[in-house]
Every structure is written in structure tokens, then in C-alpha cells.
Amino acid sequence: MPKPRLILGSASPRRLELLAQIGVTPDDVRPADIDETPLRDEVPGDYVLRMACEKMRAVPSGDDDIVLTADTVVTAGRRILGKPADTAEAEAFLRLLSGRRHRVMTAVALRRGERQWSRLVSSTVKLRLLSGRDIADYIASDEWRGKAGGYGIQGRAGAFVSWMSGSYTAVVGLPLAETAILLQAAEDSGQIQGEAV
């Protein structure tokens, strides 16, 4: 049997790089365009899982294609910190996260035909106390753009992280252990039971 085509429903170069680490190259990249506004009173875990699943459903694909999508959010308490809209919001996020623990949640979702699988991975990260210069220099670097919570652990902000517990790759944007299991489940037509969406 021919191997099914893999479609990555994300424009994130980091997700492409992470997939390459486990020897996976998508056959196509088709970013999903959806409304990412949180619902009223929606908790972060429900929100990020819903986003990954809505992206998965929005990606056009053939009957036997495998569609892979993911979504990442940073949370401070119940507050969802998505991608900052501008430098002021990025600075506000970094000031909020400075010196405190926060959660980074990444959901991954897969679809093959009518079958769907998903996983939610939650990690805890602590940033050291950031000085005004730390924040100003990081904002000037433009690394915050397009990153949940206004920072990327894999870049310059790695120097801000004093402690973490959980999945490093999930904090970057794609939990590789869970993704590999779901890809195998999809390729095996569900011989490994995934978590139904």
C-alpha cells in the first residue's frame, strides 16, 4: 500500500524543523486560516485543544491524506497569552512572566479520513527576573514576533529560562514524542488507539 500523504497545517518554520528531527518531511504545507478568538470563560487547555482541532478540520485534504496541526499558548493563571499583536503587548507579556512560573500548552491534532486523534501537552516554565534592558533588547531583536507569550525558548529567550518541567519540544511548538505516536496511529489506520476528538 502506498504511504498516505502528510499535510502540515501550519506556517511555523519551527514545526517543520521539529518534524525534521524525527525524520518526517510533510508532502505539503497548508496553513489553516481560522478565528483564534477564545470563547467567553474558555480555560486555556480547552482553548488550545479546540484551536488545534479547528485548524485540522479547516485544512483541505484528500480522503487518505494525514493532516497534522498544532497550537501553542502560554498561560499566566487563567489568562491566555497568544502571539503579541505589537511591541507594547510583547513587552507587557514579558513583564507579566518575569520572575514567575507559567504554563505552556501545546495541542497536536491529526486527521486521516474520518478518524481523528489529539493530544494536549502542558509544561511549566519559569523565567528569571528580567531587567528593563533584558526586555528592551529582546523586543528590539524581533524574536518575539509570531510566538505565544512573546518569547521563543529556542532563541535568545533561552537565556531567560531558569527552570522548566515537561516537554521542551512542546514549548517550542510541537511535542515530538506525542506527535510520533499519533503519526504512527494514523499510518497504521488506527491500530494504536488515539484520543478521539
Residue 75 lies in a domain: yes
- Residue 193, domain member (yes or no): no
Specify the residue for cell string 510520533: 180
- 120: in domain: yes
Task: Tell me if 197 is assigned to some domain.
Answer: no
Residue 90, domain CATH: 3.90.950.10
Locate 196 and state its grid cell: 478521539
Domain extent at residue 16: 6-187
Our count of domains for the chain comes to 1
| pLDDT digits 0-9 by tens, 7-57 | 999 999 999 999 999 999 999 999 999 999 999 989 999 999 999 999 999
β-strand pairing of 66-76 with 6-8: parallel
pLDDT for 190: 43
pTM for this structure? Answer: 0.90
192 part of a folded domain: no
Whether residue 196 is contained in a domain is answered as no
Q: Which of 71, 86, 134, 137 is catalytic?
A: 71
Clarify whether 71 is annotated catalytic: yes
Checking if the pLDDT of 144 tops 60, the result is yes
Answer yes or no: is 195 within a domain.
no
How far apart are the C-alpha atoms of 98 and 87, rounded to whole Å?
A: 16
**105 within a domain of the structure (yes/no):** yes
Q: Where are the beta strands (DSSP E) in 26-78?
A: 28-29, 66-76
Provide the CB-side half-sphere exposure for 78 (13 A, CA).
Answer: 6
Identify any residues that bridge with 120 across adjacent strands, giving them in sequence order. Answer: 107
